[in-house]
Amino acid sequence: MRTRILGARVIDPSSGLDQVADLYIEGGKLSAIGQAPAGFVADQTLDASGLVAAPGLVDLSVALREPGYSRKGNIASETLAAAAGGVTSLCCPPITKPVLDTSAVAELILDRAREAGHAKVFPIGALSKGLDGEQLAELVALRDAGCVAFGNGLNNFRNARTLRRALEYAATFDLTVIFHSQDHDLAEGGLAHEGATASFLGLSGIPETAETVALARDLLLVEQSGVRAHFSQLTSARGAGLIADAQARGLPVTADVALYQLILTDEALIDFSSLYHVQPPLRTRADRDGLREAVKSGVISAISSHHQPHELDAKLAPFGETEPGMSGVQLLLPLAMTLVQDGLLDLPTLLARLSSGPAQALRLPAGQLKAGHAADILLFDPQASTVAGESWYSKGRNSPFLGHCLPGQVRYTLVDGHISFQR
C-alpha cells in the first residue's frame, strides 16, 4: 500500500523538523518527506491541510488488563482506545493474572496485540517472581520473549540487598529497570496526599517523603550498580529535583509523569469522588507546578497516561474501598493539548514529551519521523476539539474528564502505514 499525505504541518521533535510538507509511505515505512520518491504512485491520498503530522505517540504505561482482568479491559479494547488517543506504541505493566514473569505470558500478550493490530505493544516484565520482591524473575528469557524493561510496580522489594542484586544482574545484561518509588511503610494505608485536604476530609495520608525517601535510596543503588533506570509516575516537586540532581551527576536515569498529575491537585478530592482516587496520590499545587517545570526543562522527558481501566463497580464503593486508577489513554493527545492551551509548553515540546522522549527513555523503535523507519504517524487537528466520552473505546469509563470539551482532535492514526484509527 502506497500512501501520500498532502499538506500537513510536519513536526518531528527528534530532528527539529517543523514545516509544511508532504509525506510518502510505502511498504509500511516512511519513504520520503517533501519530495516524492522516483516512480511513486499513490494507492491512497490523505488530504492533511490544516492538520499536524507528528510521530505516533508513545505511552509508557497502559494497563491492558489481559490476561486475568478482562472485566476491566482487554488487549483489543484498550489498544483501540490508545489508537483513538493518537498512540501507536505503548508499554503494558506486568500487573496481570498470572503476573508477567514468564515468557508464555509475554508471548500471549504480543500475539493478541498483533491480532488486534491497533497499536504496537511492548511488554514490561516483572523484576521479581510474582512481583513479591523476593526472587528475581527470569529477566533474560523475558527479554528474549519481547520485554523491553523490568519493574515491580508499587510492590516493594523485601529488602534493599535483594533489590541491589537485582539491579546488578540487570546491569550485567544492559537491561532497563523501571522504578515506582514509594516507600511501603510510609505509604501503607494511605489514600490521599498527607496535607490540608486529607485532614479536612478525614482521609489517611501518604506523605511526600514516601516518594522522596524511596527515590533517594533507589538513585543511590542505581549509582552503585550502574543500571539504566527509568523512574515512573513522579508526583512531587522534590522528587523531580532529585532526578535533576542525578542527571546532573551523569547517572543514566530518565523519568515520566502521569498526565493527570500535571493538571489536577489533591483539591480535586474535596467531593470524595472516587474518580480522583489514584496511587501514588494527587499532590499539592506546588508539586504540580514543580512537575510542570521539570517537564518544560526536560528533566522529565516523558508524559504518560498511566491508563488503568476499571469496571463500574470498582469505583462505586466509599472512597477508601474503591480501586485506584484512571482511564486516560484515549484522551492522551487532547488532554495534553490543554498544556499548550495554557501556555505551559509549545507544540513541538509537548510532542517531544509524548513521542521521542518516552521512546528514548526505554530505547523503543518509535517516536520519530524519518525516511526508512516505520510509518507510525499521528494526524491531528489542533484547531478542532474533542468531547471526552462522545466516542469511547476503552472498557473503563473511570475518567473525571468525561463530558469535558478538550482542545485538539485525532483525525488519523497510522501504524506501519496502515490506518489504525480515523475520525
Identify whether 67 is preceded by a cis peptide bond (ω within 30 of 0). Answer: yes
**Residue spans per domain, the chain:** 2-52+374-387+403-422, 56-153+161-179+218-361
Residue with cell 493478541: 112
* 380-384 CB contacts, 8 Å cutoff, 24+ apart: 380/51, 380/52, 380/54, 380/86, 380/333, 380/408, 380/409, 380/410, 380/411, 381/50, 381/51, 381/52, 381/408, 381/409, 381/411, 382/52, 382/337, 382/340, 382/347, 382/407, 382/408, 383/50, 384/408, 384/409
Q: Look at residues 400, 423, 396, 401 and name the one whose alpha carbon lies nearest to residue 412.
A: 423
pLDDT of residue 263: 97
Indicate the fold that domain 56-153+161-179+218-361 takes in CATH: TIM Barrel (3.20.20)
User: pLDDT 10s per residue in the chain (423 long)?
Assistant: 899 999 999 999 999 999 999 999 999 999 999 999 999 999 999 999 999 999 999 999 999 999 999 999 999 999 999 999 999 999 999 999 999 999 999 999 999 999 999 999 999 999 999 999 999 999 999 999 999 999 999 999 989 999 999 999 999 999 999 999 999 999 999 999 999 999 999 999 999 999 999 999 999 999 999 999 999 999 999 999 999 999 999 999 999 999 999 999 999 999 999 999 999 999 999 999 999 999 999 999 999 999 999 999 999 999 999 999 999 999 999 999 999 999 999 999 999 999 999 999 999 999 999 999 999 999 999 999 999 999 999 999 999 999 999 999 999 999 999 999 999
Asked if 243 contacts 295 with a C-beta cutoff of 8 angstroms, the reply is no
Q: Look at residues 293, 264, 294 and name the one whose alpha carbon lies nearest to residue 278.
A: 264
Beta-carbon neighbour count of residue 269 at 10 Å?
24
Cell of 186: 510510609
pLDDT of residue 61: 97
Q: Give the integer Cα–Cα distance in Å for 51 and 197.
A: 42
Asked if 254 contacts 302 with a C-beta cutoff of 8 angstroms, the reply is yes
Return the CATH number of 2-52+374-387+403-422, one of 3.40.50.300, 3.40.140.10, 2.50.20.10, 2.30.40.10.
2.30.40.10
pLDDT of residue 147: 98
pLDDT of residue 21: 96
Q: Give the integer Cα–Cα distance in Å for 352 and 256.
A: 12
pLDDT of residue 26: 95
pLDDT of residue 115: 96
Cell of 172: 550485567
